[in-house]
């Protein structure tokens, strides 16, 4: 009886029982079957676990584990092409994954490395969101390849207009590409908007990995500046000028007296009409009020000014400190960067 027929019989016999189990349960049973050298059962269980779809599908880490056991099982069944196919799917799922050498013998790990070198895979990992200070900190993108590959990493506007080239060279397995948050060598900050981080083989080939891109939503965060310190007030400051009340009192008295002279016709002349003498008296009285106003103008109190000088000097020092600190903060603007999912980009001519 052929191996394919045996596997088919195992699947058909166990189908009702398998349908009631989760993908994780099937994976664990497949691993145990492999460890017991029950390869036909292991293949059936592992393939069934990988076939499950959301919401009961295996997580990527579990899927990688299932593929590594499936490939090893197929290799021991003398199905080398099938094993290579499972390893190829594993490399595309996670280029950084390696079968555990403490679990799998050399013939399994050697086949994996052979498939990995032959499978041209390019991927990029970026933080979902981060905040950075341009020129002082960096946005990082991890570029991962399955073999040494020349790669071009660029930042562009969402319409494809280039902004900066971040890397142009060979990538051996994995490397970190950094962006300092500026769009020119002079340190210009990006305007708010959507940008594209593009990672592509350079030069691109039809049989090579597809170029990838990540949308970056970049926003400048306004600096958190300090408020001005309140100026000193009285109290505790002492008054530094004499009161204006006496001067205002003299002016008011002169004005009222002058008005009264004009308004009292019975005192000057026989008619109710204003005479030159009455106006002369009114003017004299008003001038006297003005003289008193200027004579009682507020004057500086030198002793109090000297006593208040330390408090004013301390306030001025605090003002200058706030000015200096705010200048530093304005020069250290922050960028908030939110990254979208990694997608396949169109090939450029």
Q: Are residues 168 and 213 in the same domain?
A: yes
Decide which of 118, 140, 173 is a domain's last residue: 118
- Residue 217, phi then psi, degrees to nearest 5: -95, 110
> What is the rounded CA–CA span in Å between residue 122 and residue 104?
26
- Do 185 and 41 lie in one domain? The reply is no
Model confidence pLDDT, tens digit, residues 80-138: 999 999 999 999 888 889 999 999 999 999 999 999 888 888 899 999 999 988 888 99
Asked whether residue 234 is assigned to any structural domain, the reply reads: no
Reference 220, options 329, 138, 336; nearest CA is 336
CATH number at residue 199: 2.60.40.1930
CATH number at residue 92: 1.25.40
Strand partners, 241: 300
In the predicted model, is pLDDT for residue 18 greater than 90? Answer: no
CB count in 10 Å sphere of residue 203: 9
Q: 70 in a domain, yes or no?
A: yes
pLDDT at 250 over 60: no
How far apart (Å, rounded) are the C-alpha atoms in residues 296 and 251?
Answer: 10
Model pLDDT for residues 19-46, shown as the tens digit of each residue: 668 999 999 999 999 999 999 999 999 9
- pLDDT score of 29: 96
Q: Give pLDDT tens digits for 149-181.
A: 899 999 999 888 999 999 999 998 889 999 999
Radius of gyration of the chain (CA): 44
Among 83, 118, 153, residue at a domain's last position: 118
- Residue 337: pLDDT above 50? yes
- As a whole number of angstroms, the distance between CA 257 and CA 142 comes to 91
What's the domain range around 170?
122-222+334-344
Q: In terms of domains, do 69 and 84 share one?
A: yes
Q: Please name the residue that has the structure tokens 């779809």.
A: 53
Structural domains in the chain (count) = 2
pLDDT value of position 133? 87
Q: Based on the fold, state whether residues 207 and 129 are members of the same structural domain.
A: yes
pLDDT in tens, 267-291: 444 554 555 655 555 555 456 555 5
Q: How far apart are CA 174 and CA 255, in angstroms?
A: 93
Predicted pLDDT of residue 247? 45
113, 32: one domain? yes
What pLDDT is stored for residue 225 in this prediction? 78
Question: Does 126 map to a domain?
Answer: yes
Residues listed for the chain: 349
How far apart CA 224 and CA 334 sit, in angstroms, is 10
Q: pLDDT at position 174, please?
A: 86
């Amino acid at each position: 009886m052929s191996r394919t027929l045996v596997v088919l019989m195992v699947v058909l016999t166990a189908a009702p029982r398998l349908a009631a189990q989760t993908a994780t349960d099937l994976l664990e049973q497949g691993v145990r079957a492999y460890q017991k050298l029950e390869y036909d059962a292991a293949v059936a269980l592992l393939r069934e676990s990988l076939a499950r779809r959301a919401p009961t599908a295996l997580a990527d880490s579990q899927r990688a584990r299932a593929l590594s056991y499936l490939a090893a099982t197929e290799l021991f069944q003398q199905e080398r092409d099938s094993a290579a196919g499972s390893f190829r799917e594993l490399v595309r799922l996670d280029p950084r994954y390696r079968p555990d050498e403490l679990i799998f013998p050399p013939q399994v790990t050697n086949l994996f490395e052979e498939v990995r070198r032959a499978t041209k895979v390019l991927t990029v990992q970026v933080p979902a969101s981060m905040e950075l200070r341009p020129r002082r900190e960096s946005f990082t993108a991890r570029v991962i390849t399955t073999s040494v590959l020349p790669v071009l990493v660029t930042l562009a506007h969402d319409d494809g207009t280039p902004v900066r080239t971040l890397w142009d060279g060979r990538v051996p397995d994995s490397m970190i590409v950094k962006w300092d948050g500026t769009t020119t060598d002079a340190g210009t900050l990006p305007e708010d908007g959507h940008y594209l981080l593009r990672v592509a083989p350079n030069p691109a080939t039809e049989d090579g990995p597809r170029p990838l891109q990540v949308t970056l939503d970049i926003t400048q965060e306004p600096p958190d500046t300090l408020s001005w310190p309140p100026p000193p007030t009285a109290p505790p400051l002492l008054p530094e000028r004499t009161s204006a009340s006496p001067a205002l009192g003299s002016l008011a008295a002169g004005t009222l007296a002058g008005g009264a002279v004009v308004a009292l016709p019975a005192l000057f002349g026989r008619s109710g009409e204003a005479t030159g003498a009455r106006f002369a008296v009114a003017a004299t009285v008003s001038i006297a009020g003005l003289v008193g106003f200027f004579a009682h103008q507020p004057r500086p109190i030198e002793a109090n000014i000297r006593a208040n000088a330390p408090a004013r000097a301390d306030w001025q020092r605090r003002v200058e400190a706030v000015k200096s600190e705010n200048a530093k903060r304005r020069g250290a603007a922050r960028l908030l960067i939110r990254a979208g999912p990694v997608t396949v980009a169109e090939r450029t001519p």
